[in-house]
Amino acid sequence: ESRLAIVPSPYLGGALAGGVRRHWIAILGLAIAAGLLAGLVALSLEPVYQSSTTILIDTNRRGFTPVQGEAGGGGNSGAPGLNYLQTQVLLLQSRALAQSVAERLGLWTHRELDPRQKRPRRVPFPLDLGPLFSDWSFWSRTPSPVSDEDARRVVTDALAQGIEAHVVPDSEMIRVSFRAHDPALAAQVAQAYAAAYVELGLETRLESVTQAASWLTRRLEGLREQVDASELELQRFREQQGSLDMDLTNQALERLAGRLAEARAQREGLRSEYEQVRGLASLGSAELVAHPAVTRSPVIQTLKSEEVRAERLVSELGERYGPLHPKMVAAQSDLTSVRAKLQAEIEDTVAGVKKKFDGAQARAQQLERELDQLKSRAQDVSQKALTLRSLKRDAESDRQLYDAFLARFNEIDLGAGVESANARVIDAAQVPSQPIGPPRLRIVAGSVFLALLFGVGLVALKERVDRSVKSAEDLERHARLAALGTVPLLNRRGRNRATPERTYLECPESDFAEAIRTLRTGVLLCGQDDRHRVLLVTSTVAGEGKTTVALNLAAALGRLERVLLVDANLRRPSIGAALRLPADAPGLSNLVAGTSSMDECIHGIGGGSLSVLPAGMPAPDPLEILSSGRFAQILGELQQRYERVVVDSAPVQAVSDALVLSRLCTAVVLVVKADATPRQLVQIAVERLHRADAPLMGAVLNQFDRAKAARYGNVGWGP
């Protein structure tokens, strides 16, 4: 499992600041060049003049409508009024008004606007490269002639795009401005725009009035015909239907309904009396005589009295005379006559009751028929009354609409000759005395600022792209290894006195030697608890100076203890040549092959405690030698003879030699070249060593440029 996650390094603000410090001269030069160039360009620009005029617009008289007249406005505080003012701003910036101004001032051939008239520069631009490339087709190409139509279009576009109009806050005024190189032209165009706008508004209003009058005339003709038709239809309906008074009809209905109610009540009373009398008549005259309808007849009452007297007389005579007595017979005859009359009268009374009932019933039925007829007529009158009201309403509506249009037409006819514009010029445009541009100082300052930003951006891009290890802190952060030391880059004078591999031996008082001694201290401190007897020195890739570090570190350690430097880089050995040993001197490959003894292969350096075991004869398969048991045996014997063994091996990324050797050594030191080795390669090398269970002690930052680091912002020199 991986012990070290390979992640991209963050972009640090300190790196950017260091990059700016390192390249400040180039950035400043770029800014100065940009400022000079911008200054020359600014000097070549002509001065610009601006003239303004102010127009007051009455938003309460925006336009004219045929029916309502002038369209009212909501004032300058409402959205409708503001929208109207914004519309007028767009109208001022229209091409139609621009063409009107050009016609008014005759600007089609003005030297500043006419594209056919090339205006000379105020200050000749010193970087005009046209003459230098006059033979080139791009520079020598003759521009095609501009037609009159194209020229007029260009002038119109210039006016429409050059005019500026905006609403003055919290007012009903619009400020119109125009910029030009000619101050008189700026004033003329601004004033002409204001005048053209006022005239356009007046023409528009007059045209609106004319159109409204024409429309109203046509509309009145149609309305007049409509009024005549509706009134004629109403008159015809009235003549055909006559009086349609619903009040009289309703009153007649009420009276007839009352009479019908009385007749029905009378009929029901007579019906009851008749039914009683008819029922009693079937029982006999004795019961019938007691009925009120019979008893209230004076004739019957008289006959009843006569019957009583006749019965009393018969009763009295019957007590005195016999039934055949003439008086008795006469009395009986009178009683019979009275009773016959009474019976006849009773029958007449009963017939009279029936006759009254039949008459009451006939009257009620007649009234019901009359009421039904009157109701039917009332419904007909109601329908016709509704039709009459509808016709009257239509006629009145047509008349009112006609009167309204006629009144509006009379107003338009009276006001057509006194129509005025709803806009007027408040402040006339004046010829400006001072230019408003170009802002030369701002052009120069802006160019310098942009150049500085561009320079810093380039530095940031460079620092972002450059992902090499630059400092010991950078090494610890990204490789997660302890920085054992920082070895400085040798200058030319140092390289003239001694080669890098022999600097510590030949220049022990140099800064380089001091850095090696610091590295030695770091190695010794890391091995206080467990002495690293066999120290492997390797690097990520070739050319990072691992041999230089290994040789000088071994020389420094040799001042304190017996040290053996082993050149295990059998593929590209270099220690023998650096120490000026004979090319055929026996070494490690000879010792492993058994062709030379150990004493013959080990060479003393300077008569001190430092010895060297060079690579020896070329080996056909270096990895086979390093992974052999004989090599491990030799390395064990060397540990017995020396206090410390320093092994120089091939790079980790190139071959697997260093990985094989790391298992036989007690500590591994990784050499990294400053400002050269990418961080990702260092991370990969460390990851490979970890996977091989290599005892990584730390790393050494080699060829560290102190002067460059000071400019860059990395001021640390060592662990």
Dihedral sign for Cα 324, 330, 335, 340, please. Answer: positive
Q: In this predicted model, what pLDDT tens digit does every residue of 211-221 receive, in sequence order?
A: 777 787 888 88
- The Cα–Cα gap between 368 and 383 comes to 23
Beta-strand relationship, 667-673 and 696-704: parallel
Q: How far is CA 665 from CA 86, 324, 573, 626, 697, in A?
A: 86, 193, 19, 12, 11
For 698, the enclosing helix (H) or strand (E) is strand 696-704
Bridge partner list, 474: none
The pLDDT confidence band at residue 10, using thresholds 50, 70 and 90, is: very low
Q: In this predicted model, what pLDDT tens digit does every residue of 183-197 receive, in sequence order?
A: 999 999 999 998 888
The CA dihedral of 117, 120, 125, 127, to the nearest 10 degrees, is 40
CB atoms within 10 A of CB 630: 12
pLDDT of residue 613: 93
Mean pLDDT of the chain: 79
- pLDDT at residue 703 greater than cutoff 50: yes
Least confident of 126-140, 631-645, 663-677: 126-140
- The Cα–Cα gap between 465 and 460 comes to 9
- Residue in the block written with tokens 């020359």: 40
The pLDDT confidence band at residue 293, using thresholds 50, 70 and 90, is: low
- The Cα–Cα gap between 258 and 374 comes to 13
Once rounded to an integer, what is the mean pLDDT over residues 462-471?
74
Backbone angles phi, psi at 367, to 5 degrees: -65, -35
Q: CATH topology of 246-399 equal to that of 467-712?
A: no
Least confident of 26-40, 111-125, 400-414: 111-125
Once rounded to an integer, what is the mean pLDDT over residues 395-404?
83
Q: What secondary structure letter does DSSP report for 172? A: S
pTM to 2 decimal places: 0.48
Q: In this predicted model, what pLDDT tens digit does every residue of 592-601 receive, in sequence order?
A: 999 989 999 9
Once rounded to an integer, what is the mean pLDDT over residues 291-303?
65
DSSP assignment string, 497-532: HS-GGGHHHH-TTSHHHHHHHHHHHHHHHHTSSS--
| The token pair that represents 620 in the structure block | 């056909």
How is the chain split into domains, by residue range?
Answer: 13-130+146-211+419-442, 246-399, 467-712
Burial class (CB in 10 A: 0-12, 13-18, 19+), 522: buried
Least confident of 293-302, 644-653, 710-719: 710-719
- Give the architecture-level CATH label for domain 246-399: Orthogonal Bundle (1.10)
Q: Give yes or no for a contact between 348 and 227, defined as CB atoms under 8 angstroms apart.
A: no
HSE value, Cβ hemisphere, 13 Å, CA-based, for 367: 22
The pLDDT confidence band at residue 671, using thresholds 50, 70 and 90, is: very high
Once rounded to an integer, what is the mean pLDDT over residues 479-485?
84
pLDDT of residue 667: 93
Q: What secondary structure letter does DSSP report for 120? A: P
- pLDDT at residue 63 greater than cutoff 60: no
pLDDT of residue 285: 54
- pLDDT at residue 177 greater than cutoff 70: yes
Backbone angles phi, psi at 701, to 5 degrees: -90, 115
pLDDT of residue 119: 58
From the centroid of its chain, how far is CA 269?
93
- The Cα–Cα gap between 639 and 632 comes to 11
**Considering only CA atoms, which of 495, 506, 505 is closest in space to residue 556?**
505
Alpha helices in 539-664 (DSSP H): 546-558, 575-578, 588-593, 598-601, 622-626, 629-641, 657-662
Could you give the angle at which helices 440-465 and 13-22 cross, rounded to 10 degrees? Answer: 120
- The Cα–Cα gap between 412 and 215 comes to 11
Q: In this predicted model, what pLDDT tens digit does every residue of 495-511 receive, in sequence order?
A: 445 677 778 777 877 88
Most confident of 183-197, 301-315, 461-475: 183-197
pLDDT of residue 668: 93
Class of domain 467-712: alpha beta
Burial class (CB in 10 A: 0-12, 13-18, 19+), 23: buried
Any idea how long the chain is? 719
Q: What secondary structure letter does DSSP report for 11? A: -
**Considering only CA atoms, which of 488, 549, 553 is closest in space to residue 520?**
553
Q: Give yes or no for a contact between 104 and 196, defined as CB atoms under 8 angstroms apart.
A: yes
Of 159 and 205, the one with more pLDDT:
159
